[in-house]
A and B are shown apart, each in its own frame.
Chain A
């Protein structure tokens, strides 16, 4: 078993091409559990945790580019404006997990319960992949293919994710047995975009992979339109429309019964989380408008 410790992305990609048996390891918070329990015995390791290219956070105009190797603790400190993402980062594991765990690792594992993933979906984020022969950028849904199945090729590394910062509030919420250290039974991220007049909703842990709720999104955008809430954030959206939004989100879920919860419970959780998330977002916009007016 070989251990590689490249100091640049270029060197890492050359090693990746020559030694596909060496598993990339970033924070190790997913991979080491498998290794410690003998469930996985990689042919080697490729340590990506020190690659400077993966540890960058860049902003260009509205575009946010988050290096795959940035741990959650840094996301919380350095991206406070990306509210949904920092909320998701804060719910990951414990302080010890957040100093090490990365969004690149969350993507690499590709679990439908990965907490960063519904946020990336609600952001319409792209995943940047590189190999020794070039770079490609995939929309999140072309990267996450199924439960723990991704489009990563054996000679590629995840370099970053990027998205356009939305003009509006967003959130992440999850249901589990306690507030910390919990795998979500259901997770939801909602993002409002005032400029595009769009509502985007994504669900985690309630399907084979991360799901968007296109019908609910169209309904939500329409309801805000009818209420005049896009142009006047103080306008109220009727309660029955809020409830209907929750129902449509729940209908987009494809949950199963498992040890963590039943399909019915998960669907119910989606309904509640969606209604709440939309109410929070409308409240946030209203508060921001009032503040701007005063």
Chain B
């Protein structure tokens, strides 16, 4: 079935199987490989995207449910040479090892900072409880959130 949705400000369409997830459509049909597939059961958060502004696991949304809606992926944050402050903070704080969880974490962190500009450690850990990292032990990710929050606080009016 033909699905049309707005991804990162651009209307895109693809012919997908009705049982196909939004994650599969983003990666396999639209070539947006930043959004990762690690579990397909909502446990790891590496497929995190925004759907109409809400943070969701794209593996648990049918592509067909996203018809006509706004999707933002990790690619909307920044690119090489023009990193989003959250992405820059992950590099700076050493919050990236193998990198597989990183896109999902960055989306979840950006979502957290949209709602809470200066989160406490406890708030950060709760907000990131849906994202798994098998490498870093999380502390450096928490550090990165503080770096990003400080940095974004400086530029905001």
Which A residues form the contact surface with B (CB < 8 A)?
1-3, 5, 25, 27-29, 32-33, 35-37, 41-42, 44-45, 47, 49, 73, 93-97, 99-100, 179-181
Query: B136-153 vs A: 1/0 string, CB under 8 Å?
Result: 000000000000000000
Q: Which residues of B contact A29 (CB under 8 A)?
A: 42, 57, 60
Query: Does B70 reach chain A (CB closer than 8 Å)?
Result: no
Shortest C-beta distance, B53 to chain A (Å), equals: 9
Which of the segments B4-12, B13-21, B25-33 contacts the partner chain? B13-21
Query: Does B62 reach chain A (CB closer than 8 Å)?
Result: yes
CB within 8 Å for A2 and B60 given contacts A93-B130, A94-B45, A95-B130 = no
Query: Does B1 reach chain A (CB closer than 8 Å)?
Result: yes
Q: CA of A36 to CA of B62 in the docked complex: distance in angstroms? A: 10
Q: Which residues of A contact B62 (CB under 8 A)?
A: 3, 25, 28, 32, 45, 47
Q: CA of A59 to CA of B29 in the docked complex: distance in angstroms? A: 44
User: Do A1 and B56 touch (CB < 8 A)?
Assistant: no
Shortest C-beta distance, B123 to chain A (Å), equals: 11
Shortest C-beta distance, B150 to chain A (Å), equals: 22
A-B complex: 8 closest residue pairs judged by Cβ atoms: A94-B130, A180-B129, A36-B40, A99-B54, A3-B18, A32-B60, A96-B130, A33-B41
Q: A42-B19, A95-B111 are in contact. List 5 more A-B contacts (CB 8 A).
A: A3-B1, A28-B60, A33-B40, A35-B21, A37-B41
User: Do B129 and A99 touch (CB < 8 A)?
Assistant: no
Query: B56-80 vs A: 1/0 string, CB under 8 Å?
Result: 1101111011010000000000000
Q: Which residues of B contact A99 (CB under 8 A)?
A: 51, 54-56
CB within 8 Å for A45 and B42 given contacts A3-B18, A94-B129, A181-B130 = no
Q: Which residues of B contact A33 (CB under 8 A)?
A: 40-42, 60
Shortest C-beta distance, B46 to chain A (Å), equals: 11
User: Do A93 and B19 touch (CB < 8 A)?
Assistant: no
Residue of B nearest to A33 (CB): B41
Query: Does B108 reach chain A (CB closer than 8 Å)?
Result: yes
27 contacts between A and B (CB under 8 A): A1-B18, A1-B19, A3-B1, A3-B18, A3-B64, A25-B65, A29-B57, A29-B60, A33-B60, A36-B59, A37-B40, A37-B41, A41-B19, A45-B64, A95-B55, A95-B108, A95-B130, A96-B55, A96-B57, A96-B108, A97-B60, A97-B130, A100-B54, A100-B57, A179-B129, A180-B130, A181-B43
Q: CA of A195 to CA of B40 in the docked complex: distance in angstroms? A: 47
Q: Which residues of B contact A179 (CB under 8 A)?
A: 126, 129
Residue of B nearest to A29 (CB): B60
Query: Does B102 reach chain A (CB closer than 8 Å)?
Result: no
Q: CA of A44 to CA of B21 in the docked complex: distance in angstroms? A: 14
Query: Does B35 reach chain A (CB closer than 8 Å)?
Result: no
Residue of B nearest to A36 (CB): B40
Residue of A nearest to B23 (CB): A36
Q: CA of A8 to CA of B40 in the docked complex: distance in angstroms? A: 30
User: Do B129 and A181 touch (CB < 8 A)?
Assistant: yes
CB within 8 Å for A97 and B18 given contacts A32-B62, A47-B64 = no
Shortest C-beta distance, A252 to chain B (Å), equals: 31
Q: Which residues of A contact B55 (CB under 8 A)?
A: 95-96, 99
Q: Which residues of A contact B1 (CB under 8 A)?
A: 3
Q: Which residues of B contact A32 (CB under 8 A)?
A: 21, 42, 59-62
Query: Does B87 reach chain A (CB closer than 8 Å)?
Result: no
Residue of B nearest to A180 (CB): B129
User: Do A1 and B60 touch (CB < 8 A)?
Assistant: no
Q: Which residues of A contact B18 (CB under 8 A)?
A: 1-3, 44-45
Q: CA of A97 to CA of B130 in the docked complex: distance in angstroms? A: 8
Q: CA of A35 to CA of B40 in the docked complex: distance in angstroms? A: 10
Shortest C-beta distance, A18 to chain B (Å), equals: 17
Shortest C-beta distance, B15 to chain A (Å), equals: 13
